[in-house]
Amino acid sequence: MHQDVLDLARLQFGLTAAGHFLFVALTLGLGTIVAVLQTRATLTRRPEDDRQVRFWGQLYVINYAVGIVTGLVMEFQFGMAWSGLTHEAGNILGASLAVETLVAFFVESTFLGLWIFGWHRLGRWAHLATIWVVVLTAYLSAYWILVSNGFLNHPVGYGSEDGTLVLTDPAAVLTNPAALLPLVHILAGALLTAGFLMAGISAYHLFRRTAEADFFRRGLRTGVYVAAPALLAAAVSGGLQFAALASFQPMKSAVFGGRAAEVARVQAELTSRFGPGDYIPSEGWTQGGGLVMLISFGLMMYLCFAGVILAAFRKVVLRFRLWHLVLMASVPLPYLAMTGGWVFREAGRQPWVVYGLLRTEDAVSDLSPGTMRLSLTVFATLFLLLAVLNGWLMARHARRGPDDPGLGRDERAAGDSPPVPATPLSRY
């Protein structure tokens, strides 16, 4: 009976955490690009640069808004299903999660509201500052989440009092390599995700011979030139994490490498250290997640290297329809890579929820299987509806193009000035 509750709780957490993370990744990456675009628009004061900010910024706002709702849902299920974790490690995890909540729901959200409604009301430099505050606090929020997750994967700076974990070395927790290396990896992956999305949406319009050819030519080149260095950063930071696995989580490293002798050796060591038990994580989930990540990375590597060359030629960007189709089809690749990497990171540390300190089976709440099934059904349905809603809203805005998006519209000057003329493809 308890095993049923454990399996359902793990499935629920996996679905909600992975689903929320996909929203977060695009928010981090696209927000950074929008901030850079607005910096350029603020400096040049050209209408065409402002249109870039408003079009891509509206996609950012849509994804951010739905992502906030998924985050609230994930926090609720976390508190409901994993009371053992909060009881055992709440003294350490509680502080970082509380700071993240303050950053995300007060500072970040407040300044995002100022950015959304501050167009034509705030000075251009003050308005630019608001989006950069949003982006930097989003980075800070990601850092605090990874401080908590890093402790789960590689606990440091702790002691034990009355059977619970207590914080003894804050500096060790805040500088945990299991948090800092993934932070770089995730930020690079976020930029990679946003770059592929921008390139894919721009390719869609260029493939249809849009009248906004110059607008989406710039969007495609921006996406490609952001994705390429982001891919390299993700590769380097990911490689450093793989190298650290041998010391942090040797069993995960052995299982992923398929080294049966080393798996047996580590199993014997952990049995001697922690007592009898199965310390081997699921080979299917661990190896499968890692392979999905690596295969997706390989495909993106070829696309990025080819894209950097092709994007240098104006007519190729505008007229190479096969490339446009490839870019449209490749938009899901960063999502696949991140989901595979998340599964590899989280499933590979089983049977521990806090590695070497707290088993997953001891962290789950004392709930009935019926309650967990109902909870899983409700949360999974809600996440599916939110994902569909987000996809529909973003696709609807992306198809409409840059003509008068709601974001940044100056109602006071409506109708006073003509729109920026589109550049027809026939001119090239």
Most confident range (mean pLDDT) of 86-95, 212-221, 400-409 is 212-221
Task: Compute how many other C-beta atoms are within 10 angstroms of the C-beta atom of residue 421.
Answer: 7
3-state DSSP assignment of residue 379: helix
Predicted local distance difference test score (pLDDT) of residue 237: 92
pLDDT, tens only, 134-168? 999 999 999 999 999 999 999 999 998 887 889 89
- What's the confidence (pLDDT) of residue 329? 96
Q: Bin 163: left if φ > 0, else alpha if -120 < ψ < 50, else beta.
A: left
The radius of gyration of the chain's CA atoms, rounded to the nearest angstrom, is 23
Check residue 91 and give its pLDDT. 85
**66 C-beta neighbours (distance < 10 Å), count:** 19
Name the strand (E) or helix (H) holding 23. Answer: helix 2-44
Region at 356 (left for phi over 0; alpha for psi -120 to 50; beta for the rest): left
Position 39 pLDDT exceeds 60 = yes
Whether residue 127 has pLDDT greater than 60: yes
The answer to whether the CB of 427 falls within 8 A of the CB of 313 is: no
Strands (E), 92-196: 158-161, 164-167
The single-letter code of the amino acid at 207 is F
Q: What is the pLDDT of residue 175?
A: 93
Residue range 334-353: average pLDDT? 91
Q: Omega into 250 within 30° of 0, i.e. cis?
A: no
CA angle, corner 215, sides to 209 and 218, nearest 5?
Answer: 110
pLDDT at 101: 78
Residue 412 has pLDDT above 70, yes or no: no
Residues in the chain: 428
- Residue 426: its pLDDT value, please? 34
Residue pair 18/343 in contact by the 8 Å Cβ criterion = yes
Distance in angstroms (rounded) separating the CA atoms of residues 70 and 383? 7
> Mapped to the 3 state alphabet, what secondary structure does 133-202 carry?
HHHHHHHHHHHHHHHHHHHHHCCCCEEEECCEEEECCHHHHHCCHHHHHHHHHHHHHHHHHHHHHHHHHH
Q: Which of 200, 154, 142, 137 is nearest to 335 (CA)?
A: 200
Per-residue pLDDT, 58: 93
Q: What is the pLDDT of residue 411?
A: 62
DSSP 332: T
Residue 97 — pLDDT band, cuts 50, 70, 90?
confident
**pLDDT exceeds cutoff 50 at 425:** no
Q: What is the mean pLDDT of the chain?
A: 88
pLDDT (average), residues 327-338: 95
Per-residue pLDDT at 248: 86
Summarize pLDDT for 242-300 with one digit per residue, the tens. Answer: 888 888 888 998 999 888 999 999 999 999 988 888 889 888 899 999 999 999 999 99
Q: So what's the pLDDT on residue 185?
A: 94
Residue 130 corresponds to which tokens in the numbers above?
């608001």
Q: Evaluate if residue 1 carries a pLDDT over 50.
A: no
Q: List the one residue out of 258, 297, 265 whose CA is nearest residue 279.
A: 265
By C-alpha distance, which of 188, 137, 138 is closest to 27?
A: 138
Q: What is the pLDDT of residue 313?
A: 93
422 band by pLDDT with thresholds 50, 70 and 90: very low
Give pLDDT tens digits for 62-78. Answer: 999 888 888 877 777 77
* Burial label, 43 (beta-carbon count in 10 A; 0-12, 13-18, 19+): exposed
**Pair of tokens at residue 385:** 């509806």
Full-model pTM: 0.90
Give residue-wise pLDDT tens across range 210-234. Answer: 788 899 999 999 999 999 999 999 9
* Other beta carbons within 10 Å of 21: 21
Please state the φ and ψ torsions of residue 80, each to the nearest 5 degrees.
-75, -40
Secondary structure of residue 418 in the 3-state scheme: coil
Number of neighbours of residue 18 by Cβ within 10 angstroms: 17
Look at 3 and 128; give whichever has higher pLDDT: 128
Q: Please tell me the distance from the alpha carbon of residue 173 to that of residue 167, in angstroms, as a whole number.
A: 8
pLDDT at 410 (0 to 100) = 67
Question: What's the confidence (pLDDT) of residue 147?
Answer: 93
Q: What is the pLDDT of residue 394?
A: 92
Mean pLDDT value of segment 15-32: 90
- pLDDT confidence tier of residue 85, bands split at 50, 70 and 90: confident
